[in-house]
């Protein structure tokens, strides 16, 4: 039993931040994400013996994803991946000020981060999901396909459409260039 626990701690716990990040983006709520991740880690621990030689991160994120959708169905308050009461502004957090950064520049950067969070949150759930898995969690297309249960071609298509939609939303919100966005 202790060996299983040590293996789980070594292979799954390093991905706790990624699990929370995905849950937060899918549920759009920091408090819901806490509950979802706790449920997902309990489920992952119970079925950890079934993980054979595979990377634990995609396996774990698939469990988190399933827990998110189970929670959404249970609560019946989310519509297409967004809660009825909107994006939880506290969920995204603020970027840390850079060392020696001018306060005005820090405020501008924080506002841009909030605008980007809002633009991502406004994407349809399927787009938001693949975008976060690829651009934030740096999963490969194959790993994203494993997490979502979608064919790689579908993942690639959703990702391309998510990037385009994000670019359009960013341009619409800020009226500025999209140089930083692919």
The DSSP letter of residue 80 is T
User: For 37-81, how does the pLDDT look when each residue is reduced to its tens digit (9 = 90+)?
Assistant: 999 999 999 998 888 777 889 999 999 999 998 888 877 654 444
> In this structure, is residue 51 part of a structural domain?
yes
Decide: 48 and 163 in contact? Cβ < 8 Å. no
Q: Residue with structure tokens 């308050």?
A: 77
Report how many domains make up the chain: 2
Cβ neighbours of residue 122 under 8 Å, at least 6 residues apart?
82, 87, 169
**Closest CA relative to residue 40, chosen from 65, 58, 5, 11:** 65
Domain, as residue range, for 78: 1-83
Give the predicted TM-score (pTM) of the model: 0.73
Structure tokens at 137: 């969690």
φ and ψ of 169, to 5 deg? -65, -45
> What's the confidence (pLDDT) of residue 61?
94
Q: What is the CATH number of the domain that holds 128?
A: 1.10.10.10
How far apart (Å, rounded) are the C-alpha atoms in residues 36 and 104?
37
User: For 148-179, how does the pLDDT look when each residue is reduced to its tens digit (9 = 90+)?
Assistant: 999 999 999 999 999 999 999 888 876 656 55
């Amino acid at each position: 039993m202790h060996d299983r626990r040590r293996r789980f701690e070594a292979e799954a716990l390093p991905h706790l931040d990624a699990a929370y990040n995905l849950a937060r983006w899918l549920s759009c709520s920091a408090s819901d994400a806490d509950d979802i991740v706790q449920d997902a880690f309990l489920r992952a621990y119970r079925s950890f013996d079934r993980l054979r030689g595979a990377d634990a991160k995609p396996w774990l994120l698939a469990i988190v994803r399933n827990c998110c959708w189970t929670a959404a169905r249970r609560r019946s308050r989310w519509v297409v991946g967004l809660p009825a009461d909107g994006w939880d502004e506290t969920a995204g957090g603020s970027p840390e000020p850079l060392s020696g950064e001018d306060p005005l520049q820090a405020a501008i950067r924080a506002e841009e981060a909030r605008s980007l969070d809002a633009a991502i949150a406004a994407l349809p759930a399927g787009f938001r999901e693949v975008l976060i898995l690829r651009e934030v969690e740096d999963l490969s297309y194959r790993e994203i396909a494993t997490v979502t249960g979608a064919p790689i071609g579908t993942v690639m298509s959703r990702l391309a459409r998510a990037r385009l939609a994000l670019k359009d939303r960013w341009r619409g919100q800020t009226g500025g260039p999209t140089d930083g966005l692919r």
